[in-house]
Every structure is written in structure tokens, then in C-alpha cells.
Amino acid sequence: MNYPKDLATLINYYEKLPGIGSKSAERLAIATIELKEEEITEFSDALKNAKKNLSRCSVCGHITDQELCDICRDETRNKNLICVIEDYKNIFAFEKSGKFNGTYHVLNGLISPLDDIGPEDINLNSLIVRLEKLKNPELILALKPTIEGEATTMYIKKILEGKNVTISRLAYGIPIGAEIDYLDNITLEKALEDRKKISE
Amino acid sequence: MNYPKDLATLINYYEKLPGIGSKSAERLAIATIELKEEEITEFSDALKNAKKNLSRCSVCGHITDQELCDICRDETRNKNLICVIEDYKNIFAFEKSGKFNGTYHVLNGLISPLDDIGPEDINLNSLIVRLEKLKNPELILALKPTIEGEATTMYIKKILEGKNVTISRLAYGIPIGAEIDYLDNITLEKALEDRKKISE
């Protein structure tokens, strides 16, 4: 199958994106060339600008087009409450829930001895610096429940021992809407362990 | 949910593409800004170039970056066999099968009296001109089995009556791999009507 060269290049780039196979890439590339001339120009500029103008928030590590991200700049946010996450993408998920009024700290990775990633390789020092400036801060560790996530959680807990920091982690349990038949054993075990009295 | 402005623009453009919802658009936009600087530049240029350099083949109407598309330029293709299709995208499907050695003619639409689209609104005249230059050409009408597809098939059949053109249409029937339980009535009816003797 020979596509015209420019179309082939475009298909090739779409295929680099996650979840886009060759069939989807073809469909997206064709849809793209059917956009209006000015839309193409804007799309093309948006690609370059997004890469050029976005960098990391100097406090929390979220992506932003300014020195501080909009969450760190927001006066109404509780700066004493910090949700620690692996990746800035997680912030979008929390923000969409609209239920969290604290701030974030992006680790940009998790401790993983097997992959030779130690505490000094992730964005931990800046977290300690942040915490030292706060009075009775609370940390919510929202790391994924894998070996690496647990190792990082345990490490953070350990280095903050004796310091005046309240530390919690996200609850493990049954996701809302799930069929109990299809749950994995570990989730079910955690859900049993952490069961809550209905009167609470 | 507030995305940084340039990210929001990018998400907005991805959302214009077919089959991309807001969640996919967010994921694609984030993956895009994580591409390397030079990849972004190439992707961005590919977008503009694809739009700028691609036009329609002057013979068959396929997209191409030259005067004639690669199929019309191909000396090994049977120029007397023309497969008539609604849209150039159909060509990619035929070419992937690798089983067709003729050429194509893109109608860019179908006759649809309800939408006020008549024979003069689709790319039919150039088909007649093509056919006049050929000796005993064969036409395969590969139009979709809808009212518009049937109307166009019938119209082409009518205007070519008495001219020395062999006309056929794609077979209707059960698609390979389909579960008979789930087939619609009309397909099943066509498959019964057009049944073939096993000895053939």
C-alpha cells in the first residue's frame, strides 16, 4: 500500500501516539488533510507552541505556561495539604473530580531498585523543602498500588518520621460500579481488610 | 478543569478528529508534548505539507502529490478495468487487499435526490471521457448498498447502455468471519438470492 509521501509521514506521526494503530492513524491523517487550510495552520502552530511554551511549575512540578502553575497560584487552595503523585497527568484526573482543594507534588517517577531508580532520582528533595516551610502540613500519598508505589510510599513515610507531618494514602477498595465477580484477589483482600462500619 | 492554554488548544484540535473524544484528545495532546523537539517540528511540518502538497489525480480523482496518482502512473495496471468508488478513502481498502490490478474512478459523492445531489454534482463526466478513449473497458461499480449507492449504480448503468462497456457490481453476501445470527435481514436475503453452486 503506497500512500502519497506527505500522507505517509503524517500517518507515521499519528502512529507514534498512544492507542493509535495503523488503521486509526490512516483515518486521523485523512481527517486532518480534510480540515480547512487555516485549521491546519492553527493545529500545526498549536503543536509547536505547546511544546515550546509549557514547562514545569517550580513548586509542584505540574506543567504550566508560567513560572507557577495555576493551582500553586490559586489563593483559595489549601497550601498545607499536598497530594503526592507520580506523574503530572494524574493531576487532571484529580482536578476533574473537583473534590480536592489542596495542592500537588509531582514525583516524576517512583523508587524502583530493580530499574536502578533511587530516591535521589525522583523529585523528592523539593518536597522536603516545601514541607519545611509549612506548619503542620498534611501529605496524601496517591501513588499506584504496585511494588514501586509501595516502596516510594514507605520511603517517604520513613524520612518524614518525627517531623510534624500528617501522612495518609488513598483508600484501596472496590471501584464504584465494579462487578465483584471480576475483581482481582488483592483488591478484594484490601477491601475486606479496610472494611468500614456502616454506621460511620 | 483548567489546562494550560497551549495544551487546551491542542486538545481542542485533536477533538475535531473522528473517533476522538475528550479523554482521548487529552491523552493524545499530552503524548504529543512528550515527543522530542525535532519530532514535534516534523509532525507540525507534515501537517502543513500534507495539506499543501496533496491534490487530486487529474484522471481518477485519487489524492496524490503529483499530476497523476501512483496507480494511474503504474504501467502494470490494467487501464481498461475501472473500479468506480464514492470516495478516495475506499482506494486504500482495495489496495490493502492487494487483489485488484485495475484502476479507480472517484465519484466524490453519490446521486441523492433527497439532498439535491444530481449526476452533474458528482465526478461522472470525467468517467465518460475516460471510457470513450478505451477499447472494451470494464467497469466495476463498488458503491455502498444504500439508496444513494443503488441510484448511482442504476444511473451509470443507464447512461452507458448501448456503449461497449462491461458493467458489474461488487457481490453482496455474508462477510467472512461473520456470525450468521447477527446478520441483518437484507444481507441474508441478498446472500440467499446470490447463492453459488459449490461445484463452481
Q: What is the pLDDT of residues A72-117, one digit of tens each?
A: 999 999 999 999 999 998 898 888 888 889 999 999 999 998 999 9
First to last CA, chain A: 64
Show which of residues 81-120 on chain A sit within 8 Å of chain B, judged by CB atoms: 89, 92, 95-96
Size of interface A-B (CB pairs under 8 A): 134
Q: Please, which residues have CB within 8 angstroms of residue A142's CB and are 6 or more apart in sequence?
A: A83, A84, A85, A90, A94, A169, A170
Mean pLDDT of B78-91: 93
Residue of A nearest to B20 (CA): A28
Residue B194 DSSP symbol: T
**Cell numbers given for B93:** 481498502
Q: What percent of chain A has pLDDT over 70?
A: 98
Domains of chain B from N-terminus onward: 5-53 (1.10.8.420), 76-169 (3.40.1360.10), 173-200 (no CATH)
The pLDDT mean for chain A works out to 89
| Residue B138 confidence (pLDDT) | 93
Identify the H or E element spanning A56. Answer: strand A55-56
| Residue B199 confidence (pLDDT) | 67
The model's pTM is 0.71
Nearest Cα neighbor of B55 from A6, A22, A28 is: A6
A6 touches chain B (CB under 8 A): yes
Residue of B nearest to A92 (CA): B1
Mean pLDDT of A40-69: 91
Residue B1's pLDDT band (boundaries 50, 70, 90)? low
B196 touches chain A (CB under 8 A): no
- Asked which of A176-190, B122-136, B141-155 is least confident by mean pLDDT, the reply is A176-190
Chain B environment of A4 (Cβ under 8 Å): 53-54, 63-65, 69-70
Pick among B47, B63, B76, B88 to test the A interface (most A CBs inside 10 A): B47
